[in-house]
Structure formats: C-alpha cells, structure tokens
C-alpha cells in the first residue's frame, strides 16, 4: 500500500463524525434525562400510570386527578389526595422507568410542587429496594394553600437497580401535588435536574463533531399533533407540555405504552449538550409533514406559516441577541451567549413532491433572513429505490446545501458501498450520512445485534466516507441509545440499564474514526487502485496538520491474517515512532454486554516508521489504525 503523504487532498470538516440523538428506546426519559420518577406530573394518557396507591391496617385514602386545562393548558393535571392514616398507612409508590436505579452513598434530591388546603401535611419519602427494604429517605412538610416547590435531599444506603419511590402520607389530611421528582446528585456537570453523567460521558468520549437532534421520526410525529414542537420544550420544566412518544406503540414485538416525552430534555438542553461536548448543534425541524410511514398527514402550503415561523424563531433562539424575543428566553434560561447555530435540518426522512414543495418554501424564507445557515434536506428512508431516485436529482437541481442519506442495510451492502462516493458528482450538494447502521437481520428485528460483523462492515464503509470527505462532510450512526429493557429498535450504538452502560463494538469503530479524523485526506492505493474490497481490505488515510501525524485505517474483512507493507512517500522523517490500534474478534457474532462491556475494545501498541515505510500484519476480521508522527 502507498500513502501519498506528499499530496494532501481535501480538507476534512471538523464536524465530520457526529452523533444522532433521538428519543427512541428510552433514550431521553428513562435514559439521558436523569429524572427517576415516571409520569411525574400525571399527564400520561392513563393519569396514574407508573403510580400505585396502597392502604394498609385500616387507613383510608384516595387520589383524584384534577384537570385544569382552562388555566394551565401545558400542564393541566395534578393529584388531589385525601387520607386518614390515623391507623395503618396510606402510601403512593412510583415504579420508575423499568425500576429506579439507586447508588449506595449517592445523594438523591426529591422535589414536588404542592399545596396543603387544610393545614400542614407531613410526608415520608423513601427509596425501597426491590425486596421492599428502605434504603434511604427523608421527611417533607407542606404548609400553606398556595402552590410551592418543596425540596428535600437524602443519601441512599445501598445500591439497587430496580428500586422504587414510596411516599407515605402521615396522619390525616388533604394535599394537592404535581411534578413529583427525584434526581441523583451526580448529574452531568452537577446540573440540578440534569442529565445522566455516565451516558453523556460516553458521548463526550466520542468527541463528536455535531449533535443532530431531536430525531428521527419523533420530529415528524405519527400525526402532526404529536410532532416535535421545540417551543413547547423550552422555559420552565413545569410548563413544558408532555406528549406521547412517537415510539410508544410502534413495533408489535416491543410495545411501550408508558413511553412519553416530558421534554425535561428540550431544545435548550440539546444546545447546551452540544456545546458541552464541543459539537456543532444540528437541530431538525418539522416541515409541515407527519411521518410518511404512518399517516402521511401534511399541512397545506398556504398554511405553512406557523411551521416556518418555528424554524426562523429557532435560529433566533440559538443565535439572536438577548434583546430579541427568543434570544432573551435563551438568556433567561441561563445562556446569554449565542449557541452559534450554523446548520438546520428541514424535515426528517421525508420524500416525494410534497417534501420538495415544502423544502422550497422553508429554504427561501431561511436563506432570506439567515443566509449563512446551511440547510440539511431529507433524501427519504433509503439510499436506493424509487423514492431516492425521484428525490436525489430534484434536490441536486435545487442545489441544496446537504442531502441527508440514510442507510439501514445488511453488512454486505455496507461492504459493497464502501466505494459509493468514489464516483459521486462533486459539483452538487454535500452529503450528510445522517443515519446508518449495518443490520445483520431483516430491518428492526429483535435478532439484530451490535455484533462484530456489523461493526466491521461499518468500519469498511466509513473508510469510503473518509476517502470522500470532500463530498461526505458529516456522518452519524443511528440510533444512539437503547435501554436494555425499553428498546423499540436495534441495533443501537450505546446500551444501558438503570445503573450501567456500555459502548458496542460499533461505538469503538465510531470512536476510532472520530478521534483520528485528521485535517486532510491522503490517498492510499494498492498499485493504482483504491483499497475498497480487494482481498477483503478497505483503507483510508489522513494527515493531521496540527499534530503532524499520518493516520492510516485499514479494515481486513477477510478471515485471514494479511501482511501489509505501507510506503509513505512525502513524510519528512525517515523513521519515527507511532502507535497501532487494533479492534478485532475472530468471532463475527461477538458482542459487548452490560456484564462484559469491553469484550471488544481497542488495543494499542507501539509501531515504527522505518525508511518511510511501515510493515504490519492485519489480523483476520480487524480494524487497524496506524498513527505516526512523521511530518
Ligand atoms: O433511527 C430510527 C429511525 O430510523 C429514525 O427515527 C428515522 O429517521 C429512521 O426511519
């Protein structure tokens, strides 16, 4: 192999390797949002879902859920409790999201909005282990007949993956309660009411170039009424209007009737997350179309204005001065500085002439007011087939900024398409490979695994993206997260339960590329040919002008060890030290799990450049990254 370090090619965009976040598989509520109470404001379709009352030993007690939609349309319901526990006990338990994960010695912060119409009320708040043993708690006193937020903290005495929250009503009384909430203290950056730190750390470790949010199909909704409306996800959490999650009823084999969006993670939090982890924010906005896999509901063109206004106001929310309406809200939420939005997606995975008509309306309004913002357009659900064949040329003729191509395909498809962009039209729009994952079984079957076969195929494909970084300027695996007991779609990049989390082999492939993206493409050839499949080898190379390194990625998809002699003409040093990092498994079925999270993980050792060449042996079924400081 020859790496032409003397002829650096196209610049690699700093945002090249990013992440796709969607609230699917309990990724937000029950996932990155560290709230432990499910249905905290009684707004689920069944208002008491997740809650259970219990009366013992002669106590009486009853909850009524009151609806004040006329005065509080965004959070209409609250619970009204009446009880007499002079004898026995009256309790209310919350089951959490597939249980509550509790950590020994961790501080837990409880809060509720409440008023006590008939005098002081004492509540005992406790965490229980799965066997019913109390493992921490505190007392809370509510006084006064006006709504106030009450808080109390306590420390857990044991670790428990499947705990529950128990509230015991003392004596006799009445209470109105809402937003009953419990957070661990160890949130990401210790923000009260914040995000789950272990999951965000896994994202930060990827050093992603961008964060695409909030999806996915949830941008569109099953129908327009349940589309994602960013304005309802900002401001005080109490006033964010909960809606059913698009994935609540999807897929008969994995129904999730308790899947809602509380929007505790809303657009402010997404922008803040992107900033925290050094990524460009890439929000996707609804373009007046519901999910075309479901209702195909669209807004007539002459009634698009509110949708359009949402897009324009979003840019003002992200970038506007604090003297603007939406910029002021951002400042009031704690971020006076702009979020510096440069990219905006119009519609997710839409297709057909209806999409094109709506894109044109959005693009002309956005570009007129914010010419510097680049627009990401949808190219439908598949990289081939009639939808793509119709849409792709139309989007090209409109000279859009980015076309978002999605590929959920077999490992064989990924191998075959590693050279997909080698001959792509360079003059038109740039490509955003916005959702991709190798599916080892038929799409979205439970049998689909994040196994080594899928990760290896993605790595091979990614060498093709990197080789063509002049045109493919952003890429993200999808979906990002899945709760092991709450998923609707598999495979996914990161899996978790209530306490633990792990990166799949696919995660380590993403990380290898993202942390070694370099600044310019170098051509890597076998003779005169691109390395894209011959003998099962796939390769790409980059130079990093900041660190003065040449970085080579070679994927050996064959079942044989292969020796390679890599010549690197053009490097300044004839000999230099470097590292070689290998991800491998001889078993294509191998996976990482909660109990064995590092079954497949990168292993690094030293390597040397000698006479401007490196000799190496590629293990069967492996991804090898060679890095030398030779410039
Ligand atoms: O990633 C899961 C889903 O796949 C996304 O919501 C959608 O955009 C695509 O169909």
Whole-Å CA distances, 243 to 121, 225, 228: 32, 9, 9
**What distances in angstroms separate CA 159 from CA 56, 100, 104, one per listed residue?**
28, 10, 5
pLDDT of residue 344: 98
Confidence of residue 251 (pLDDT cuts 50, 70, 90): low
The 10s digit of each residue's pLDDT in 143-155 is 999 999 999 999 9
Report, in angstroms and rounded to the nearest whole number, the Rg of the chain calculated over CA atoms.
Answer: 27
Exposure class string for 204-228: b at 16+ Cβ within 10 A, else e: bebebbbbbbbbbbbbbbbebebbb
Dig out the tokens for 548 from the structure. Answer: 């003065």
Checking if the pLDDT of 35 tops 80, the result is: yes
Closest by CA to 250, choosing from 50, 410, 22, 407, is 22
Assign domain 51-184 to a CATH class.
mainly beta
- 2-11+521-628 is a CATH 2.60.40.1180 domain: yes
- Given this model, what pLDDT does residue 294 score? 81
Work out the pLDDT band at 454, boundaries 50, 70, 90: very high
Say if residue 343's pLDDT is above 80.
Answer: yes
Name the architecture of domain 19-34+191-516: Alpha-Beta Barrel (3.20)
N- to C-terminal Cα separation, the chain: 19
Q: What is the pLDDT of residue 160?
A: 98
Predicted confidence at residue 252, as pLDDT, reads 64
Instruction: Confirm if 20 and 492 have CB atoms less than 8 A apart.
Output: no
Percentage of the chain surpassing pLDDT 70?
99
**Separation of 295 CA from ligand 1 center, angstroms?**
16
Give mean pLDDT, residues 115-124.
97
pLDDT band for position 75 (cuts 50, 70, 90): very high
Q: What does the pLDDT read at residue 443?
A: 59
Residue 446 is predicted with a pLDDT of 73
Note the pLDDT tens digit of each residue in 462-497.
Answer: 999 999 999 999 999 999 999 999 999 999 999 999
Tell me the CA–centroid distance for residue 284 and ligand 1, in Å: 13
The predicted-structure confidence for 295-317, as pLDDT tens digits, reads as follows 789 999 999 999 999 999 999 99
Nearest residue (CA) to ligand 1, atom 5: 216
* Average pLDDT over every residue of 271-285: 98
Task: Examine the pLDDT at 445 and tell me if it is beyond 90.
Answer: no
Interface confidence (ipTM) of the complex: 0.99
pLDDT at 250: 66
Supply the pLDDT for residue 21.
Answer: 98
- Among the residue ranges 5-9, 229-233, 363-367, the one predicted with the least confidence is 5-9
- How remote is the CA of residue 420 from the centroid of ligand 1, in Å? 22
Taking residues 210-236, report their average pLDDT.
96
CA-to-CA distance for 360 and 442, rounded, in angstroms?
35
Residue 242 is classified by DSSP as P
Instruction: Reduce the DSSP state of residue 517 to 3 states and report it.
Output: coil
Higher pLDDT, 107 or 294: 107
Residue 437 CA, closest ligand 1 atom number: 1
Ligand 1 pocket mutation pick from 20, 21, 22, 248 by most atoms within 8 angstroms of CB? 22
Domain map of the chain by residue range? 2-11+521-628, 19-34+191-516, 51-184
> Ligand 1 centre and the CA of 23: distance in Å?
10
Ligand 1, CB cutoff 6 Å, lining residues = 22, 24, 215-217, 348-349, 381, 435, 478-479, 489
In eight-state DSSP terms, residue 490 is -
């Amino acid at each position: 192999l020859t790496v032409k370090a003397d002829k650096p090619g196209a610049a690699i965009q700093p945002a090249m390797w990013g992440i796709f976040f969607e609230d699917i598989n309990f990724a937000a509520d029950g996932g990155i949002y560290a709230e432990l109470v499910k249905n905290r404001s009684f707004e689920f379709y069944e208002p008491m879902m997740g809650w259970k009352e219990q009366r013992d030993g002669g106590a009486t007690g009853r909850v009524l859920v009151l609806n004040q939609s006329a005065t509080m349309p965004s959070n209409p319901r609250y619970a009204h409790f009446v009880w007499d526990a002079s004898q026995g006990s009256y309790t209310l338990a919350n089951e959490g999201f597939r249980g509550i994960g509790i950590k020994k010695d961790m501080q837990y912060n409880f809060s509720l909005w409440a008023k006590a119409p008939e005098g002081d009320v004492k509540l005992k708040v406790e965490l229980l282990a799965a066997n019913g043993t109390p493992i921490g708690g505190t007392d809370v006193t509510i006084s006064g007949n006006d709504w106030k937020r009450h808080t109390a903290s306590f420390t857990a005495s044991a670790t428990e993956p499947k705990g529950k929250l128990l509230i015991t009503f003392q004596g006799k009384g009445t209470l109105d309660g809402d937003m009953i909430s419990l957070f661990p203290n160890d949130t990401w950056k210790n923000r009260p009411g914040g995000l789950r730190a272990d999951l965000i750390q896994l994202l930060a470790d990827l050093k992603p170039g961008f964060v695409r949010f909030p999806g996915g199909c949830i941008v569109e909704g099953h129908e327009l009424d349940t589309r994602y409306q960013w304005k309802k996800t900002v401001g005080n959490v109490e006033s964010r209007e909960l809606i059913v999650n698009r994935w609540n009823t999807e897929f008969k084999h994995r129904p999730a009737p308790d899947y809602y969006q509380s929007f505790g993670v809303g657009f402010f939090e997404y922008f803040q997350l992107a900033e925290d982890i050094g990524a460009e924010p890439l929000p996707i906005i609804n373009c007046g179309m519901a999910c075309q896999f479901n209702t195909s509901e669209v807004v007539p063109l002459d009634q698009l204005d509110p949708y359009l206004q949402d897009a324009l106001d979003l840019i003002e929310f992200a970038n506007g001065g604090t003297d603007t309406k939406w910029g002021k809200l951002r400042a009031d939420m704690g971020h006076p500085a702009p979020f510096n939005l440069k990219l905006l997606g119009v519609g997710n995975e839409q297709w057909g002439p209806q999409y094109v008509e709506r894109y044109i309306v959005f693009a002309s309004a956005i570009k007129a007011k914010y010419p510097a913002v680049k627009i990401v357009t949808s190219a439908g659900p598949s990289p081939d087939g009639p939808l793509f064949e119709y849409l792709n040329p139309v989007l090209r003729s409109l000279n859009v900024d980015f076309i978002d191509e999605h590929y959920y395909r077999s490992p064989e498809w990924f191998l075959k398409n590693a050279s997909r962009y080698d001959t792509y039209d360079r003059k038109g729009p740039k490509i955003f490979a916005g959702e991709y994952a190798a599916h080892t079984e038929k799409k979205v079957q439970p049998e689909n695994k994040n196994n080594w076969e899928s990760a290896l195929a993605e790595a091979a494909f990614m060498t093709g993206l990197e080789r063509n970084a002049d045109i493919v300027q952003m890429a993200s695996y999808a979906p990002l997260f899945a709760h092991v007991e709450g998923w609707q779609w598999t495979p996914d990049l990161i899996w978790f339960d209530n306490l633990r989390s792990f990166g799949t082999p696919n995660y380590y492939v993403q990380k290898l590329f993202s942390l070694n993206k370099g600044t310019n493409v170098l051509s890597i050839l076998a003779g005169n040919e691109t390395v894209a499949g011959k003998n099962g080898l796939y390769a790409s190379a980059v130079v990093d002008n900041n660190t003065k390194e040449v970085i080579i990625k070679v994927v050996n998809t064959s079942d044989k060890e292969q020796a390679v002699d890599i010549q690197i003409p053009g490097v300044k040093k004839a000999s230099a030290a470097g590292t070689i990092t290998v991800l491998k498994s001889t078993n294509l079925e191998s996976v990482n799990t909660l109990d064995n999270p590092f079954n497949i993980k990168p292993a690094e050792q030293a390597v040397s450049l000698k006479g401007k060449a490196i000799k190496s042996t590629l293990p069967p079924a492996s991804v090898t990254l060679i890095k030398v400081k030779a410039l």
